[in-house]
């Protein structure tokens, strides 16, 4: 449903004429347009419509005999509202007195003290004296609602915000209000801990100190801390965050509401993984491999050794950039490789690269949907991605679109998605058969033969047809949210062409509110591609002088001895990339492995020769690009811990040592040079990017982006997906919790994943596997073990394993078919 256009009306507020959009909630309109604050507790527009539970917002409206709740009344033309009459004051004082009847006066102990809406409202609208001398209600306190959240039920004023969040926003339906009247309290229905990907948001929603963060518990007071706005780079969603800093330590992460990015929500990884910044395991000084062991050394020695090794390996060195790298770092890295080391072997995509014209076409400004488009589109097709894992806040955005704006959601994934339950239609296909599925969808949209490609994709031809019809029927504004894994692997290019075909058939190009939105693997995957961290693209997605090897090619060349060194910028191939056995051989063979890392993950610990400490996202400076083309700016919130130096500085230093002194003295100089070198970023500066970021795809200069290949393409007949034949198709997924930061954060550690083998009940029964029992998954003589997770929605014939975990990762297995047996 397209965004509603509001008509402006005029109403009278305390004798003053106020113009506001019609049907806006009175409390919002009064504050935004009339500069009058109507106190509210339960009302929070982010959660949804008004409930009128707390009665704090009572106002007098002429013509209505009783006082009305300001949070529930829409603004109408000619309405006359009074918020400061004696009647209103008396009501407000009475409501506050009621609310405070059972609220304990333990503000000095309470973590909310100093930033508590109830304190503010009591000061602003309360009487100051309580007549209530009877004993207050008592609950055991504090209880752990989850390992991350403490609940103090005495303090709760029963505003329902947290329950509504759980029911209506994250839709995990875990929180409920138990008992009745004064004995009511918030809890999970079954008493289990409230563990959900977005549970931390209720801490910020709570208007009193009833829900508090366990890791932040008693750490600081509002006057002890400073807030520092930046971007979370732990996933491609790139939520805007505000770091709470005390004594140069990050103590908390809060949302920094940005309608165009995160809508004011954060996932628990973004909210709690800050703890990994201040743990002992973190690498904070340069390490050098000496006699088989990594030992701390001085920066000078580390840089000297790295420069010498790179100099020796000129022309035989490759580089890989991880998703957390900024544009500046990527730009410097490709410069280091291409200019100083005469090498073109550089990649930032796990699944290999695409032909350059397809990269250009998929990133074309006219085809880009924005994040709010997900909410306001007529239909969204989630293709080959699981938003909760890949870009969590987009999951909430899609749910909001479905719930509030009549969005028709379609999912087409190999692994069952959490969004299936909200989707009009959920289509399954075989793992790894994305190209075939896209071809089938293209065929369905053009009316060609669907059965062939659908069979190759392991999908139901009727379902594909229904999907095509559903998309056609939903409306014109259609957004395809696709994951990078769709366009990866051997058939990646075909899948990309098919995707462009689908976009063309649906007429997505050039339409506002419609388009493609690709979720990359790495947090800044899009930015790294645009600054030229691709084997076949120079900065600005221009054609490079020579094409190099992609990630898989680099591994093979290293293993074969054609390459001798590899530069790992915030990535560990053994964790982040596929085909662990090949990478192990490759790293074993490599004479030089230079890494920027925060944690000693397996590949770094065993194979790196030089390790530079990497900055955390709270220390970083630079820019990143959101999947929808928004350049966002990272600002350092704290000083660099230990001896850590910024990555851009190390890269610039190495370039200088190798003979390219570019006089890059500050990060903003690097940013300026990087922005200059890319035509479609022309005219951008750190100032114009600003606190909210700028979508380059919306700027006129964005037209300078290369157009790439033009759809439609003729698609080759897709190769059929492997037939299980008693074995199971191997599908992989990367959990939201699969990151070293989660493993290193004391409070989040319990969520750090171990191998989980997802399979359908039918398969489980056939193989004699019980839910929760250990199983072995084997293929070509290699095997991993994990816990069986029998999932009713999982398609028969497939098994899904986690990647990006330190032990028993699915990357050990080659596929496409694996054997599963009880361990």
Residues binding another protein (CB under 8 A): 106-109, 113-114, 141-142, 217-221, 223-224
Q: Rounded to the nearest whole angstrom, what is the least distance from the CB of residue 222 to another protein in the complex?
A: 8
Q: Which is nearer to another protein, 63 or 128 (CB)?
A: 128
372 DSSP 8-state letter: H
Distance set, CA 744 to CA 206, 217, 324, 377, 747 (Å): 28, 19, 17, 39, 9
**What is the rounded CA–CA span in Å between residue 503 and residue 367?**
8
Q: Which is nearer to another protein, 112 or 399 (CB)?
A: 112
Asked if residues 753 and 789 have their Cβ atoms less than 8 Å apart, the reply is no
CA angle 592, 595, 600 (to 5 degrees): 115
Q: Rounded to the nearest whole angstrom, what is the least distance from the CB of residue 114 to another protein in the complex?
A: 7
Q: Rounded to the nearest whole angstrom, what is the least distance from the CB of residue 470 to another protein in the complex?
A: 53
Q: Which is nearer to another protein, 209 or 498 (CB)?
A: 209
319-352 burial: b if 16+ Cβ within 10 Å, else e: bbbbbbbbbbbbbbbbbbbbebbebbbbbbbbbb
Q: Rounded to the nearest whole angstrom, what is the least distance from the CB of residue 205 to another protein in the complex?
A: 22
Q: Which is nearer to another protein, 141 or 756 (CB)?
A: 141
Q: Which is nearer to another protein, 123 or 218 (CB)?
A: 218
**What is the rounded CA–CA span in Å between residue 565 and residue 320?**
11
Say which residue the tokens 């993950």 belong to.
601
Asked if residues 639 and 619 have their Cβ atoms less than 8 Å apart, the reply is yes
Q: Rounded to the nearest whole angstrom, what is the least distance from the CB of residue 763 to another protein in the complex?
A: 47
Q: Rounded to the nearest whole angstrom, what is the least distance from the CB of residue 112 to another protein in the complex?
A: 12
In terms of Cα–Cα distance, which of 28, 126, 40 is closest to 75?
A: 28
**What's the 3-state SS for 676-714?**
HHCHHHCCCCHHHHCCCCEEHHHCHHHHHCCCCCCCCCC
Asked if residues 640 and 666 have their Cβ atoms less than 8 Å apart, the reply is no
Q: Rounded to the nearest whole angstrom, what is the least distance from the CB of residue 106 to another protein in the complex?
A: 7
**What is the rounded CA–CA span in Å between residue 498 and residue 441?**
8
**What is the rounded CA–CA span in Å between residue 673 and residue 637?**
24
Q: What H or E segment, with its residue span, contains residue 397?
A: helix 392-405
614 DSSP 8-state letter: P
Q: Which is nearer to another protein, 150 or 324 (CB)?
A: 150
SS3 341: coil
Count helices and strands in the chain by DSSP H and E runs: 26, 34
Q: Rounded to the nearest whole angstrom, what is the least distance from the CB of residue 152 to another protein in the complex?
A: 9
Q: Which is nearer to another protein, 217 or 295 (CB)?
A: 217
Q: Which is nearer to another protein, 113 or 311 (CB)?
A: 113
Q: Rounded to the nearest whole angstrom, what is the least distance from the CB of residue 218 to another protein in the complex?
A: 4
Asked if residues 238 and 231 have their Cβ atoms less than 8 Å apart, the reply is yes
Q: Which is nearer to another protein, 219 or 766 (CB)?
A: 219
**What is the rounded CA–CA span in Å between residue 611 and residue 236?**
25
Q: Which two tokens stand for residue 516?
A: 């493609």
SS3 268: helix
Q: Which is nearer to another protein, 220 or 672 (CB)?
A: 220
HSE toward the beta carbon, residue 589, CA cutoff 13 A: 19
Q: Which is nearer to another protein, 130 or 298 (CB)?
A: 130
Q: Rounded to the nearest whole angstrom, what is the least distance from the CB of residue 221 to another protein in the complex?
A: 4
Q: Rounded to the nearest whole angstrom, what is the least distance from the CB of residue 108 to another protein in the complex?
A: 3
SS3 765: helix
């Amino acid at each position: 449903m397209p965004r509603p256009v509001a008509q402006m009306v005029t109403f009278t507020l305390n004798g003053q004429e106020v113009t506001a959009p019609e049907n806006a909630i009175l409390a919002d309109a009064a504050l935004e347009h009339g500069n009058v604050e109507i106190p509210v507790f339960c009302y929070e527009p982010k959660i949804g419509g008004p409930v009128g539970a707390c009665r704090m917002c009572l106002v007098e409206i002429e013509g209505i005999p009783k006082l009305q709740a300001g949070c529930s009344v829409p603004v109408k033309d000619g309405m006359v509202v009074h918020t400061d009459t004696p009647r209103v004051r008396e009501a407000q004082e009475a409501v506050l007195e009621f609310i405070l009847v059972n609220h304990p006066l333990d503000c000095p102990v309470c973590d909310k003290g100093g930033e508590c809406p109830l304190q503010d409202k009591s000061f602003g609208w309360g009487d100051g004296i309580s007549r209530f001398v009877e004993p207050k209600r008592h609950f055991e306190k504090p209880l752990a609602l989850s390992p991350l959240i403490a609940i103090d039920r005495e303090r709760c004023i029963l505003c329902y915000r947290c329950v509504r969040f759980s029911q209506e926003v994250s839709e995990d339906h875990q929180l409920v209000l138990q008992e009745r009247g004064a004995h009511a309290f918030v809890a999970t229905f079954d008493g289990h801990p409230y563990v959900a990907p977005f549970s931390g948001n209720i801490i910020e929603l709570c208007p009193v100190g009833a829900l508090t963060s366990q890791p932040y518990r008693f750490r600081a007071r509002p006057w002890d801390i400073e807030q520092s706005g930046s971007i979370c780079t732990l996933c491609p969603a790139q939520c805007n965050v505000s770091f709470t800093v005390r004594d140069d330590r990050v103590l908390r992460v809060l949302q920094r509401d940005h309608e165009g990015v995160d809508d004011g929500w954060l996932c628990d990884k973004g909210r709690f993984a800050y703890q990994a910044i201040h743990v002992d395991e973190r690498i904070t000084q340069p390490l050098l491999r000496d006699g088989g062991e990594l030992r701390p050394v001085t920066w000078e020695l580390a840089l000297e050794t790295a420069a010498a090794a790179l100099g020796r390996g000129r022309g035989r060195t490759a580089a890989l950039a991880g998703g957390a790298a900024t544009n500046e770092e990527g730009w410097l890295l490709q410069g280091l490789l291409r200019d100083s080391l005469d090498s073109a072997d550089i990649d930032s995509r796990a699944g290999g690269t695409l032909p350059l014209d397809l990269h250009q076409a998929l990133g074309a400004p006219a085809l880009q949907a924005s994040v709010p488009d997900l909410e306001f589109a007529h239909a969204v097709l989630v293709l080959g991605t699981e938003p909760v894992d890949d870009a969590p806040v987009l999951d909430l955005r899609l749910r909001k679109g479905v719930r509030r704006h009549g969005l028709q959601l379609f999912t087409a994934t190999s692994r069952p998605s959490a969004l299936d339950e909200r989707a009009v239609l959920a289509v399954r296909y075989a793992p790894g058969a994305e190209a075939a599925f896209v071809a089938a969808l293209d065929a369905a949209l053009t009316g060609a033969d669907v059965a062939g490609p659908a069979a190759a994709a392991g999908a139901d031809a009727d379902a594909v047809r229904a999907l095509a019809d559903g998309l056609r029927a939903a409306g014109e504004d259609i957004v395809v949210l696709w994951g990078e894994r769709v366009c990866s692997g051997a058939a990646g290019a075909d899948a990309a062409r098919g995707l462009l075909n689908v976009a063309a058939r649906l007429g997505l190009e050039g339409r506002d509110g419609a388009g493609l939105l690709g979720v990359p693997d790495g947090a800044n995957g899009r930015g790294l591609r645009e600054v030229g961290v691709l084997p076949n693209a120079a900065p600005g997605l221009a054609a490079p002088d020579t094409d190099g090897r992609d990630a898989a090619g680099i591994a093979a060349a290293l293993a074969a001895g054609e390459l001798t060194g590899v530069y790992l910028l915030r990535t560990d191939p053994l964790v982040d990339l596929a085909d662990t056995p090949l990478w192990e051989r490759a790293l074993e063979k490599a004479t030089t492995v230079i890494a920027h890392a925060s944690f000693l993950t397996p590949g770094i610990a065993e194979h790196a020769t030089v390790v530079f400490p990497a900055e955390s996202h709270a220390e970083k400076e630079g820019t990143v690009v959101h999947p929808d083309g928004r350049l966002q700016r990272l600002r350092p919130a704290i000083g660099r811990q230990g001896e850590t130096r910024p990555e851009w500085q190390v890269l610039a230093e190495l370039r200088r040592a190798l003979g390219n002194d570019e006089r890059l003295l500050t990060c903003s100089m690097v940013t300026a040079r990087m922005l200059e070198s890319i035509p479609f970023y022309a005219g951008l500066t750190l100032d114009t990017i600003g606190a909210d970021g700028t979508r380059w795809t919306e700027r006129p200069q964005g037209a300078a982006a290369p157009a790439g290949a033009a759809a439609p393409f003729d698609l080759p007949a897709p190769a059929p997906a492997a037939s299980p034949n008693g074995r199971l198709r191997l599908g992989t997924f990367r959990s939201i919790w699969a990151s070293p930061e989660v493993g290193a954060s004391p409070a989040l550690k319990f969520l750090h994943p171990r191998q989980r083998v997802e399979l359908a009940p039918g398969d489980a029964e056939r193989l004699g596997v019980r839910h929760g029992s250990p199983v072995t998954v084997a293929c070509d003589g290699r095997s991993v073990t994990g816990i069986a997770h029998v999932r009713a929605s999982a398609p028969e014939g497939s098994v899904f394993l986690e990647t990006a975990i330190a032990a028993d990762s699915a990357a050990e297995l080659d596929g496409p078919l694996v054997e599963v047996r009880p361990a």
